């Protein structure tokens, strides 16, 4: 079981991801609405994994990943965004994200990515 922090500015997307993780035996320990909240919650909660949207108010997801990785180089962040172009994906991976899930996604895709990263 993994302890997961979900960071997305859309309440519906947080709800969908939370449902997927809970159905698959994981615990969602926090939810953030923007990158700033995501960084603060990461520091407070020390989750095993973070799902991070890219386009958010206050602080975008790629900047948030950079801050989280500066705080903890071992942090495991998975980008989860509708922006699936090559440039954004590369920027996210270069910032330290371990993988990229493109919205809309299937539950199987989310489970597959997490299973691979937990192995």
Domain residues for the domain of 86 are: 35-105
- 111 domain-assigned: no
- 81 domain-assigned: yes
User: For residue 84, what pLDDT is reported?
Assistant: 77
Domains in the chain: how many in total?
1
Per-residue pLDDT of the chain (119 residues; tens, 9 = 90+): 999 999 999 999 999 999 999 999 999 999 999 999 999 999 999 999 999 999 999 999 999 999 999 999 999 999 999 987 889 989 999 999 999 999 999 999 999 999 999 88
Give the pTM.
0.96
User: For residue 119, what pLDDT is reported?
Assistant: 82
By C-alpha distance, which of 6, 2, 13 is closest to 64? 6
- 9 domain-assigned: no
Rounded Cα–Cα distance for residues 91 and 106 (Å): 23
Map tokens 């991801």 to a residue: 17
- 70 domain-assigned: yes
User: For residue 10, what pLDDT is reported?
Assistant: 96
């Amino acid at each position: 079981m993994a302890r997961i922090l979900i960071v997305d500015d859309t309440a519906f997307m947080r709800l969908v991801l939370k449902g997927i993780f809970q159905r698959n035996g994981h615990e969602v320990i926090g939810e953030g609405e923007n990158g700033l909240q995501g960084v603060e919650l990461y520091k407070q909660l020390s989750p095993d994994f973070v799902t991070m949207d890219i386009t958010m108010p206050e602080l975008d997801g790629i900047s948030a990943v950079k801050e989280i990785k500066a705080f903890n180089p071992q942090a495991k962040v998975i980008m989860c965004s509708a922006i699936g172009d090559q440039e954004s994906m590369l920027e996210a991976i270069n910032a330290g994200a371990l993988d990229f899930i493109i919205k809309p996604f299937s539950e199987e895709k989310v489970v597959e990515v997490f299973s691979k990263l937990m192995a």
